Structure 1
């Protein structure tokens, strides 16, 4: 097969390098389509997580608005609702 030790070392380094590049590409979420073009692989849970993060950000925005709102305003709104029901 390979009789020259130098050629064997070069072959091993080449194999390890190619494997490292392929591993890095896989970890980055990149793959190839049937034409050999690089495409981003999609994670099935990614959309669900994005929706959850969006929902949590909306809830945080509401809580921030409530926490930083004037305390009188909440009281005024409650009083206005009481006046409407009378």
Structure 2
């Protein structure tokens, strides 16, 4: 085996090892941030869920305010077009 073949094999082994380590970390819920590993945020965060619900309610109220006194069907279509963008 030549010197350069050995270098290529070593680099390939290191690359495969890094991929396997990243896969292992992802499976167990941690992400690499430089040299430190931080756990991922909890999937079910009650405070976050509550805040999202509050924001949805606020958007509904704002849509209602915007549609008062106007042709609601036309305005609703405009809102939906803006959401699609």
Larger Cα-atom Rg = 1
**What TM-score does the superposition give when structure 2 sets the normalisation length?**
0.41
TM-score (norm 1): 0.41
